[in-house]
Structure 1
Amino acid sequence: MPELQTLPAEILRPDPATFEQGDFIWPKKPGVLVPYSTSYITEMKLVPTDFYDEPTWVAEKKLYLERQASDPASQLSATDRTRLAELSFAEFAAEYAGIESVDVEDLGTDTKIEEFALGTIVYVGHVGIIEIEGGKPFVIEAISGKGVIRHSYADWLSSRPGEEVWHGRIKNLSGEQRAKVAVEAKKYLGRPYEFFNFDLNDDSGFYCSKLVWLAAFRSLNIAIDGNSDSKRRFWFSPKQLMNSEKVQVLFSPGSYTNH
């Protein structure tokens, strides 16, 4: 396996010639912190599909809980529904992004995640799956407002101007085995984006890192985070995927959380 590369700041992206089918890529705008405010995001002109604002999150949570409460076959217990109902946006952001407390120095304030106000937006991270066709890389990903889509890596990069990119792959498997992840993910093209779904093996809707988990689980019988129970009490995040013992990061511009 190649050694981890931490390259100079001016080199922000991996060489696509190193990509193999079934690899993973994580994008992020350089220099941003998690979390940050609405004004900071506007100034940085960041891609909106990789961010969550509090009003949207609260509204989606409300609809999800209503559906679960009226469904006799609900995947959530009454206890879990209560826990989710009481979960604040700040608590969600801290756990999902892997941050407990962050000083947002770039905002000229000591605001911490526990002090978020209504309207706060956080970067929740993103991950895509590499497919190789005709020697060229493509990206399969689940995007808010678009669902599961596939486009060339060149087009993917052009939609994310100036962003840094991390590159990784599942450890200790052959290229033929890893390729199955992309083949499986491609089966779900056109499926809707659905963030509030806590069953990682439910293919009715996806968020980005759920697509990775399900594709690996169904194609390789591997729980990429080490937990084969697909029914969760919390989301599986891109950062969790990156930090998994089963994943090797091959290219890193720096810390994914606050670089």
Structure 2
Amino acid sequence: MRSERSLAEVQVEIRGVSAVVTGGASGLGAATARMLAANGAKVAVLDVNEADAQTVAKEIGGIALTCDVSDAASAEAAVAKAREAHGAARILVNCAGIAPAARIVGRNGPMALDAYAKVIQVNLIGSFNLMRLIAADAMKLDSLESGERGVIISTASVAAYEGQIGQAAYASAKAGIVGLTLPAAREFASSGIRVCAIAPGIFETPMLRGLPQEVQDSLGAAVPYPSRLGKPEEYAQLALAIIQNTMLNGEVIRLDGALRMQPK
């Protein structure tokens, strides 16, 4: 009986709390938006795909906001609208990202520098962009009973550790997320704001679902256990667990079924 009371005492209550999910129109972001809403959060779904964001927001009773995470003005406007609708956010989950494949030097010569910069701009700078805005708002909020004011979760990748050939831009952007997590957690600690990241393996995202079934099966078979592609809901479950457990801070958690990527 005592253990049940202890869990209730330390678990963060998210009912009625304002949350922002980037990349919330599909894949990991949509699953996370649904999970947070199912647990009572007021969710703002941010995405460049306005139509799909509206569909998810309508389903969960949230709001949809068009946002290019790589653009300062776009992100500032979206956060302001979310704040106006739901109040300042205590929860941010960064899921927006792109994953184009290209060798540093391919058949047609070196990779275009703009192509590399685009991946860094969206995946890394985009996550930092929302982090800085949500943290600034959360610092002004009253602390909860636990002393906490908020939690920020970004999406890294196993590619941050075992980037494959053709993933130089993506892997370095995700490695940047890994490197950002601890210093941000240390900086925000005095304000009661936690920062973590999730490093997924191979998941059932819209990009992977577009591949032939035999290719999907082959990718899933490479995972030691369970030998399948990860489900977006499993990412969302981990995001919820991080939000609810105040001792999780400054950590990057692999979610990959013990997968270690090969060079190609």
Q: TM-score, normalised by structure 1?
A: 0.24
Which structure is richer in relative contact order (CA contacts within 8 A, separation 6 or more)?
1
Q: TM-score, normalised by structure 2?
A: 0.24
Higher helix share: 2
